[in-house]
Structure 1
Amino acid sequence: MGSLVYIDARQVDTKTVIREMKRPYSLEEYIEKVKPIVEDVRERGYAAVREYSERFDTRSFDDPRVARSEMEEALREIGDEARWALEVAAKRIREYHEATMPRDTVREGYGLVWRPVERVGAYVPAGAKPYPSTLLMTCIPARVAGSRLVVAASPPYRDRGFKAHPLIEAAALVAGIDALYAVGGAQAVAGLAFGVNPLPRVDKIVGPGSPYVEAAKLIVSTETGIDMVAGPSEIAILADDSANPELVSLDLLAQAEHGAFSSAVLVTPSKSLADQVASRIKDHVREPHMGLVFVVVTSSVGQAIGIVNEYAPEHLEIVMENPRDVVNEIRNAGAVSLGEPVAYMDYAAGPSHVLPTSGAARWRGGLSVYDFLKPIALVSAVDEETLDAAIVLARLEGFRFHAESLEARKKAR
């Protein structure tokens, strides 16, 4: 059951407010539980994957790969409206990521070229609810970036004859990935990291999951790339008197329904708006499976912006009279919505909804084509001045052969 916390920040500093809002997120206890699973998969391969699937998902397959015919059946099964929604969202997501692809930069003497991560595995949750949108949000950017192999793993669906949830299977077809595997949990992450036949070994694993999945990603990250460690979902709404309290309330509740550990925060200099929103949501947040909602009243817009930047939210929604003026002052946020509901960003706005949580927006952004690209530096046409500088630095650091290598090249020019 969630709860509502009302904070009057007009007489306290930003650090005090953040201390009250922040909830520490640690994977330590999950790492201890997951590590034996990861190591068992490393040692015994798919036999271990299957055993853990039977234990945790109550179902497993000799061959977990979902056939294309099953995906096509799923696409028919979900109906025209669901198919239309998946295709429209996929088109917008693809367009957004195509527009953000970087270009190679080549100058006289140096340059930078981009090359795709060759093999990508996406984890797509499907526990209490299926997340076909996550398959689109993780696999399409990899495809746009040019990854040669793009596969996804998702837990087997218990209630039907499909290997994975029909919506996940349909999304896989719409996204045009190479393969979908009906495997979930830490065992799926380990299988993709090590390549236990029939699961392929991938170069990078992306996508959100339970704390067990995130712990497994962290464990394998020393030998396989990962996108980020995703914690509970969170939103901050920065609003003023121009905001509609009913719409703000619904946007907060939409994020709080992600689960008991999710956080939804309203930060506003308007006490009137804060009071109206608190009144509207106080009963709803007490429902089962709702998260924690904070309503924070500040002394000024400047203090509100300071709190948001320190909080570094996964999602930031700016609902103010001039949101484009305010966004220039935002330094830390996974993704920013200018007046539109974050729920739109969750599904069809274009940017990926896989975003940094728990303050990680201070050092990285959301999943994008850059997560599936590698910048490779080029060097050519050495000039005399920088070559001489390199020789001096090599001597200063005591690397004799570095210096001699450079000096010999200088003489040979």
Structure 2
Amino acid sequence: MAGWICNGIPKDNKPHPEQHTSGEHEPYENFGSDCVICGLSKEAIVGGSKVPIKIIAAATAGVVVVAILLWILYKIFNSDSPSQDLVNDNLVTPNPFPTSATTSTSNSSVSISPPPKITTYRTFIDVSDIPQMNVRYGGSTSFAPLRTPQNLPQMELLIEQAHPDFNLIYTEPPPGIKPGSGAGIQMLLDSQLSVAQSSRPLKEKEYESAKTRGFALEQHAVAIDGIALYVNPEISIPGLTAAQVKDIYTGKITNWNQVGGPNLPITPFSRDPEDGGTPEFFREKVLSGESLASFVQPYVRDTTESLRKVASTPGGIGYATASEVCNQSTIRPFPLARRQGQPFVEPCVGEIVNQAAFADDSYPITRRLFVIIKRDGTLDEQAGVAYTNLLLSDEGQEIVDQVGLVRIR
């Protein structure tokens, strides 16, 4: 397919709704239907089919001549090695053929300077340095309360009211990949997202993967969350210790009568620890790194499936982000104690998350939620910092509090 050059200025000099980055930019050769830098369509730049053939032929001949001259100059002044850019003190060879959003966002080709900073603000509208662009984000399912809160406006809508050109687009993983922290971080590494959400800290291998690609990853805690355990409504127990939860999921306790319940086999449900931050955190912190018992499989895809399975399975038990559990009527959350002899602490107060217990760490299973940003000197970095600053603003933290998570500041 023949390429076409875009400099950000449409042929008719009129606004075009598909253009997410307005204004002139360096000429860039595109091979698809839209410019990867500004989003303008090929038709907006080169016009439709009504251009006279003679003009097209003359223009084509001119382009060929210019291309030959540029090729000669390139051979004179450059070596045979591919062109490279300096990003974060690393030489990076740019990809001349960026493709659709399944493999690359269109915001990773535009450089920014100086690097934006994490700063606290009062309101969304106070947050500065907001880029005008489509921002693809995704990852941890523990952030779901911020995307689809009960009886509250979505955070995305409130942000877009304050910054109409900062268009947040929640993006699912490619087909066949389950949603979760790991999937979101990998999509960020692969330039399929501008910013990722994670319910676990970054791993060393993820830092290294970013480094080999010529940029750095950075994590910023934006909320505190608790993991709630829940059972089939017909199971009546006063609570469990953290050690008893571990023994259930590693196969040492297999009947509810071993922990003060009815004579009924225990059926534990879990997501795959390799797919999500929550099950991975559960394995590492609650199970002390031990593997889940073999009978826990097959794994459920997400929290919704876990809730349904536990509700329909006598003896069922599951776990998830507390804010996704407390308002559910088909299952029963139950209290936990750190160890034998200590008081049980409820994850929920009625249908509301027990935020006080999560904040003072009296509840046994809490963790931090992170925004992962990509320090690559492009609009994706600017978008990641802007999104983090929005969540850490006073207004953002108030919404974090309202949806059942716990504010970090």
- Give the TM-score of the pair, scaled to structure 2: 0.28
Greater gyration radius: 2
The structure richer in helix per residue is: 1
